[in-house]
Chain A
Amino acid sequence: MRYLMLVCVEEGVELTPEQAAEMGPATDAWVREMDGRGVRVRGDRLRPASDATTVRLRDQELLVVDGPFAETKEQIAGFDLLECSDLDEAIEVASRHPVARIGALEIRPLFDQ
């Protein structure tokens, strides 16, 4: 099964210096491990929500707005496309992502399996 894992964090979340220093290497280690296991198809970090642009078409009128479509506290900071045998494996993979400790990971199954 393929899942899109959305890596969500509160923008401007306060981290301790240790957490901040650890986040990068821990994420790299996670990527290496999951690539090695063959469960991570691809993924990337995203530029902050302030660099987002939201596009809508209403009554043939194009509406372009600065910022993300949902003004929530937690924003999507990155994504990974996972290939797992089932949801339990996807949950296990997500639980080991360093952001699980400071933010949240949303696991969405792809529509066309």
Chain B
Amino acid sequence: MTRDAAAASAAAVAEAFRAEWGAVLATVIRVTGDWDLAEECAQDAYARALERWPVDGVPDRPGAWLTTVARNRALDVLRRSGTEARKLREVATGASDESRAGPMPVDEPEERAGDDRLRLIFTCCHPALSLEARVALTLRTLAGLTTAEIARAFLVSEATMAKRLVRAKHKIQHAGIPYRVPPPELLAERTGGVLAVLYLLFNEGYAAARGDDLLRADLCGEAVRLAEALAAVLPEEVEVAGLVALLHLHHARRDGRVDERGDLVTLDAQDRKRWDRSEIDRALAVLDRALLAGGAGPYVLQAQVAACHARAADASDTDWPAIVRLYGQLAALQPSPVVELNRAVAIAMAEGAGAGLAAVDGLPQGALAGYHLLHATRADLLRRLGCRSEAAASYARALELVTSEPERRFLERRLEEVADPTR
């Protein structure tokens, strides 16, 4: 075997891991009904691929090869431990109609893999699991991140994360959470739950920004990939399309959001030439289709706001009145002080800092008192109105509450500016 062939097959295994891990695992879970066993056997299958592919060549359909190896290994383990009949019976009573047929034929049809991925994501995002568990389980099973990686991304110890994952998997099995795509009457509600998990995943990565922790920033990429996978199997769901467009529009700005030192650059100061235009174009096409299909839900509305920014040559060229209107629609649909705050910022851009400050001060302060962006927004508007000492007080309050490192550095710079009489 040449070194090139070895490198090529190692790359093929890595690519198959990125592209197929979730689907392989999803199918073995369906066949065995045992999450831990499925995970072990999926890992074994990738180890086998590393041994066999350099010798036998990369199979035509790597995903099907891996699934077959993993499933056969799982059935083997069950057979040897004498539990196969019991396990398979459990699956047959607990899961969807298809699984009642028992073990699958050896050659797994390709479209089944998509169905299984969908079953897996709906099960991982079941509302009977805690939100933390849903996020962790989604990253472990669908994105294939290790427990250590997820622990680092969420700033908890590996032991804590391992316990969280074990508890979630046990609850799925013991509480009888069905391994299926929800029936039509539950689909919209449960799809909303899945979208919330993906959105949270993206925001975790986005808030971290670059230079803080690359792994956290990569959560954005995972969220985008999972949202696209969901859109591929649920093409009719306009809110799924809305989320795909929204995440792409934000993700496309990633190179403009931070400067060389890893410091945060606000939207108005970003070099828009650094935005990923091809990603924006794809996102706008997805959004247009969702709008044509009658989409008007929260993700579609947020994507429309992001699209206003993406289409503008610079901050002053932005259609701020449209953004004010979109945030108004969003607030009517999903009343939230954070949405109202965003609307106030847009009012400031459309009608001036004075109008914006009036809108901010008109918000119910209680719910937002501990939110650093309320104080940062007030501070910024006061700064623009020339009220330096009041601005400084609001920056100081925002600094007490902020947790992200790049955001903290940004606020410190602004505080220095307003406190310095020579500037």
Contacts and interface: CB of A to CB of B under 8 A. Distances in A.
A88 B186 contact: yes
B124 to A, nearest CB: 14
Contacts of B186: 88
Contact of A90 (B93, B174, B176, B182): B176
B182 A109 contact: no
A87 B175 contact: yes
A84 B128 CA distance: 16
B328 interface: no
Contacts of A91: 128
B174 to A, nearest CB: 5
A86 interface: yes
A100 to B, nearest CB: 15
A1 interface: yes
Contacts of A88: 177-178, 182, 186
Interface in A65-113: 84-88, 90-91, 107, 109
Contacts of B128: 87, 91
Given A86-B94, A87-B128, A109 B178 contact: no
Contact of A1 (B126, B176, B182): B176
Interface residues of B, number: 11
Interface residues of A, number: 11
A107 B127 CA distance: 13
B178 A86 contact: yes
> Interface residues of B: mostly helix, strand, loop or mixed?
loop
A3 B128 CA distance: 14
A87 B177 CA distance: 5
Given A1-B94, A91-B128, A86 B174 contact: no
Nearest to B179: A86
Contacts, number: 27
Nearest to B186: A88
Interface in B122-154: 126, 128
Nearest to A1: B176
Nearest to B182: A88
Nearest to A2: B176
A82 to B, nearest CB: 11
A107 B128 CA distance: 10
Interface in B174-193: 174-178, 182, 186
Contacts of B126: 87
A106 to B, nearest CB: 12
A70 B90 CA distance: 35
Contacts of A109: 174-176
Interface string B151-181: 0000000000000000000000011111000
B182 to A, nearest CB: 7
B421 to A, nearest CB: 56
A41 to B, nearest CB: 15
B264 to A, nearest CB: 42
**A3, A84, A86: most-surrounded residue (chain B CB, <10 A):** A86
A113 B94 CA distance: 12
Contacts of B93: 85
Contacts of A3: 176
**B174, B175, B176: most-surrounded residue (chain A CB, <10 A):** B176
B25 to A, nearest CB: 21
A105 to B, nearest CB: 13
A36 B126 CA distance: 28
Contacts of A87: 126, 128, 175-178
Contacts of A107: 175
Contacts of A84: 176
Nearest to B178: A86
A109 B176 CA distance: 8
A87 to B, nearest CB: 5
A86 B95 CA distance: 8
Given A3-B176, A86-B176, A87-B177, 17 more contacts: A1-B176, A84-B176, A85-B93, A85-B94, A85-B178, A86-B177, A86-B178, A87-B126, A87-B175, A87-B176, A87-B178, A88-B177, A88-B186, A90-B176, A107-B175, A109-B174, A109-B175
21 contacts: A1-B94, A1-B176, A3-B176, A84-B176, A85-B93, A85-B178, A86-B94, A86-B176, A86-B178, A87-B126, A87-B128, A87-B175, A87-B177, A87-B178, A88-B177, A88-B178, A88-B186, A90-B176, A107-B175, A109-B174, A109-B176
Interface of B: 93-94, 126, 128, 174-178, 182, 186
